[in-house]
């Protein structure tokens, strides 16, 4: 009687419409991740993904299993890109890198802009990607 009753009662997992698959002597739940939204993930999001996998594996796993990883990476992408563009603009203005310099001395303009972009990348990495 007890064995019969045990097989007749559905688990909560089954009551909510999900099923089990038998593998050898074990019944494993058929788990499905929730659908993730399709938002673009660029270079900043990829850097964040690599950082999470290497240095924050628990956070990475939690985001992935909750279906929020892609959304998180897209948010980081937007945040990092906005900060990068603002920093480049501010640094260029403070160092006097103008369009006039670009016309008069293009190689000097390129050299200085490359330095500004490297500084901005470092700041974005420290403030957004590696936090």
Work out the angle at residue 48's Cα, subtended by the Cα atoms of residues 69 and 66, and round it to the nearest 5 degrees: 15
pLDDT band at 116 (very low <50, low <70, confident <90, very high): very high
Range of the domain at 100: 2-129
- Secondary structure element (H or E) that encloses residue 12, with its range: helix 12-15
**Is pTM, for the whole model, over 0.75?**
no
CA distance 50 to 127: 16
Evaluate if residue 1 carries a pLDDT over 50. Answer: no
* Interstrand relation of 26-29 and 20-23 (parallel, antiparallel or unpaired): antiparallel
Residue 6 has pLDDT above 80, yes or no: no
Q: Are 94 and 65 in contact (CB under 8 A)?
A: no
What tokens appear for 12 in the block?
């909560």
CA dist 6 and 9 (Å) reads 6
pLDDT value of position 25? 85
Measure CA 2 to chain center. Answer: 50
Counting the structural domains of the chain, the total is: 1
Q: How does pLDDT run across 65-113, given as a tens digit for each residue?
A: 888 899 999 999 999 999 999 999 999 999 999 999 999 999 999 999 9
DSSP label of 9? S
């Amino acid at each position: 009687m007890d064995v019969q009753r045990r097989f007749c009662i559905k688990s909560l997992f089954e009551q909510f419409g999900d099923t089990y698959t038998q593998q050898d002597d074990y019944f494993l739940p058929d788990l499905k991740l929730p659908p993730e939204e399709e938002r673009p993930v660029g270079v900043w999001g990829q850097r964040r993904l690599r950082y999470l996998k290497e240095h924050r594996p628990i956070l990475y796993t939690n985001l992935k299993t909750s279906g929020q990883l892609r959304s998180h990476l897209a948010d980081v992408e937007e945040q990092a890109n906005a900060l990068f563009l603002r920093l480049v603009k501010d640094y260029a203005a403070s160092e006097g890198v103008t369009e006039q310099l670009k016309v008069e001395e293009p190689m000097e303009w390129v050299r200085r802009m490359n330095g500004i972009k490297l500084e901005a990348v470092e700041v974005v990495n420290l403030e957004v990607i590696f936090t």
